[in-house]
Amino acid sequence: MSTAATVKSVPQARPSKSASPPTAKSAVARTVKYALLLLFLCIILMPAYVLFVTSFKGIGDATPTRAWQLPTEWYFGGWDRAWDVLAPALGRTFSMVIPAAVISAFIGSMNGFVLSRWRFPGADIVFTLILFGMFIPYQAVMIPLVQLMQALSVPSGVPSLIVLHVVYGLPITTLIFRNYYAGVPHELIESARVDGANMLRTYRSIILPISMPAFVVVLMWQFTSAWNDYLFALFFSNSRNGPVTISLNFLASGQLQDYSASMAGALIASVPTLLVYILLGRYFVGGLMAGSVKG
Amino acid sequence: MSTQTPAKRRGGHRVWGPPLLLITPTIVVLGVFVYGLIGANLNTSFQDRHTRGPSEGYVGFENYALLFSDDTFLYSLRNLLLYTGTFLLGTLILGFMWAWLLEKGVRGESLFRAVYLFPMAVSFIASGVVWRWLLNNAEGDRSSGLNRLFGSLGLDFLQNPWWTHERWGIMAIALPAVWQLSGYVMALFLAGFRGIPEELREAGRIDGATEWQLYRHVLFPQLSPVALSAIIIIGHMSLKVFDLIMAIAGQTNYTTQVPATQMWVEFTRGDYAKSAAIGTVLLLIVAVLIVPYLVATYRSERRR
């Protein structure tokens, strides 16, 4: 894995040097291409349309015959009901996700620095074993994990989830930072060593300041995956102390199918990750690709 | 990359103290939380422990033997395979096609890219809310969701019971998964396309290759490492499918059983041994996909 492709956004197309003169055939091809792109655009947006439209429908308005139509009148009751259920959970989710992302990013950054620079004996095997932790199905550790967390008396809800997202986030944060630092010129660190800076100082004064792009990717990745997590939340919290995925599923899977409230809730629960995606979308692909695409 | 040996020049012998000290906490924590717990889970799966109470002693492989003679478990394994096949094929085909369409640059590329990619930011639980509505199994006059859409487009023959179908129901759960992750695969392929040196295309054109030949014989082969990455990433996500099923069908629905949902159900029943055994089987299935990839990674690390 010789990748330096860590923190990169999808590159723009290069201007084609050999622009062939337009022919009838290429005009047809271009039309087909845009038609396909637009068709897929509509298909991808269709669920978003349904979410949006249904969330504004009143109780009597969500009948099958009117399923795909706009609301007869725009009604905010669903949003009110969803907000009542989700608001406390939203606060808890923020207080869980932010520390989880920041802590695992910092530890990952130090690990990545060490693993990219010091080939201590067995470093490769240690790295590979850390990497494996990224792929395991958590079902394979869940039962003893529940017991371990009880034995350590970590309270259920936010504290447990912070610990779990930090611990199981370490493999990917370490990987992303390690690949990023592998691309840092040696001279930079050598120059610090000549000055007699020790390792921790090298890390703080030289490595940390140039780490921002990797931090953006890692924080974003961790924020999104912790925010969207349902599995850990299910085992380590409940609807009174858990994150928004638990409350949303509770709201949506009730006996009374309150479609407008469920759909409004799904939109509310997705706002933070969508905002992150819109603001930092260029880096979004960085995450898992970092380790897996041969540069 | 030249090997960095910080202390060698000082005394002639290697001092690995500081870097090891910095990484030791992670090694210990992951050692316990990953490898220690896998071992503990394995240990539980070999015991007679089918209630919340303490273990009644060891039973060897009995729990596994019971699992593999249980029709429901075999059905859930088959479901997992079918789901993974659908999910992989769907995301690879769509992702590759979108990347190909966008590859040479089209007007509004960033809009298309952003829209194709955005479902990835949404949780499976949130998208499950809308897909449960879209995949409503009512047909005819009572239909809603996609069945209603097909009906009003005159495509009634496409109406189907979606995830409630006993044989193919699980494939309906793969639809939202494909919707969510195809954009990610597109981004992987797009980065792959754009990483191909321009000289390769030029050389192909000079040799008189048609556009199709250029793709078929020059560009596509360059993308096989990307395809492999996509298979690893989507494949391991797919084998762990859980959230989507919980959100769309719920934990008790038979037609959408997979090992992960069964593991949760057995856990809530207090059958820890059976639950642990299912977890181990799932780990082994994922390992079949991941270990060869990790071994290859390890080898290339050694050469670094």
The full DSSP string for A52-121 is HHHHT--GGG--GGGTTSPPSS---HHHHHHHHHHHHHHHHHHHHHHHHHHHHHHHHHHHHHHHHH---T
Residue range A80-292 in CATH 2.40.30.10 = no
3-state secondary structure of A171: helix
Identify which of A15, A142, A284 has the shortest CB distance to residue B279. A142
**Highest-confidence segment of A69-78, B197-206, B237-246:** B237-246
Check whether B188 has a pLDDT greater than 50.
yes
Q: Where are the alpha helices (DSSP H) in chain B?
A: 8-11, 17-30, 37-45, 62-68, 71-103, 109-117, 124-134, 145-152, 169-195, 198-206, 211-213, 220-222, 224-239, 243-248, 259-269, 272-303
CB contact under 8 A, B128 and A17: no
The confidence band for A64, taking pLDDT boundaries of 50, 70 and 90, is low
Higher pLDDT, A62 or A55: A55
**Predicted local distance difference test score (pLDDT) of residue B20:** 79
CB contact under 8 A, B233 and A288: yes
Beta bridge partners of B58: B47
**Predicted local distance difference test score (pLDDT) of residue A291:** 42
CB contact under 8 A, A67 and B144: yes
Higher pLDDT, B160 or B303: B160
**Predicted local distance difference test score (pLDDT) of residue A6:** 37
The confidence band for A2, taking pLDDT boundaries of 50, 70 and 90, is very low
Instruction: Give a yes or no: residue B118 inside a domain.
Output: yes
Q: Which of A135-149, A248-262, B30-44 has the lowest mean pLDDT?
A: A248-262
**Predicted local distance difference test score (pLDDT) of residue A133:** 93
Q: What is the domain range of residue B143?
A: 27-303
Q: What is the pLDDT of residues B136-165, one digit of tens each?
A: 888 777 778 888 888 888 887 788 888 888
**Predicted local distance difference test score (pLDDT) of residue B191:** 87
A223-236 burial by CB neighbour count: b if 16+ within 10 A, else e? bbbbbbbbbbbbbb
Identify which of B183, B184, B225 has the shortest CB distance to residue A293. B225
**Which chain B residues contact residue A284 at CB under 8 A?**
117, 120-121, 187
The confidence band for A245, taking pLDDT boundaries of 50, 70 and 90, is very high
Residue of A nearest to B139 (CA): A64
CB contact under 8 A, A117 and B4: yes
Instruction: Give a yes or no: residue B273 inside a domain.
Output: yes
Check whether B6 has a pLDDT greater than 50.
no
Identify which of B29, B250, B301 has the shortest CB distance to residue A167. B29
Instruction: Give a yes or no: residue B90 inside a domain.
Output: yes
DSSP 8-state code for residue B53: S
Q: What is the pLDDT of residues B212-255, one digit of tens each?
A: 888 888 888 889 988 998 999 999 999 999 999 999 998 989 99
Identify which of B179, B286, B302 has the shortest CB distance to residue A44. B179
CATH number at residue B113: 1.10.3720.10
d(CA A166, CA B135): 36
Q: What is the pLDDT of residues A168-207, one digit of tens each?
A: 999 999 998 998 888 877 777 777 666 666 777 888 888 8
**Highest-confidence segment of A264-273, B163-172, B207-216:** A264-273
d(CA A294, CA B187): 15
Beta bridge partners of B47: B58
**Predicted local distance difference test score (pLDDT) of residue B56:** 85
**Predicted local distance difference test score (pLDDT) of residue A148:** 96
Q: Please name the amino acid found at residue A22.
A: P
Residue B46: how many other CB atoms lie within 10 Å: 20
CATH 1.10.3720.10 in chain A, residue ranges: 80-292
d(CA B282, CA A138): 9
Domain count, chain B: 1
B154 conformational bin, left if phi > 0, alpha if psi -120 to 50, beta if neither? left
Please give the distance of CA B162 from its chain centroid, rounded to a whole number. Answer: 21
Residue B252: how many other CB atoms lie within 10 Å: 9
Mutate which: A51, A86, A106, A143, vs B, most B CBs within 10 A = A143
d(CA B23, CA A246): 34
**Predicted local distance difference test score (pLDDT) of residue B269:** 94
DSSP 8-state code for residue B108: T
3-state secondary structure of A197: coil
CB contact under 8 A, B104 and A13: yes
Beta bridge partners of A43: none
Check whether B38 has a pLDDT greater than 90.
yes
Q: Please name the amino acid found at residue A229.
A: D
Check whether A285 has a pLDDT greater than 70.
no
Check whether A136 has a pLDDT greater than 70.
yes
Contact B238, B89 (CB under 8 A): no
Distance from CA of B92 to the nearest CA of A (A): 15
Check whether A34 has a pLDDT greater than 70.
yes
**Predicted local distance difference test score (pLDDT) of residue A19:** 47
DSSP 8-state code for residue A16: P
Instruction: Give a yes or no: residue B141 inside a domain.
Output: yes
Short-list B108, B229, B272, B80, CA closest to B169? B80
**Span A12-26, average pLDDT:** 59
Contact B258, B170 (CB under 8 A): yes
**Which chain A residues contact residue B240 at CB under 8 A?**
137-139
Residue with tokens 């769509």: B94
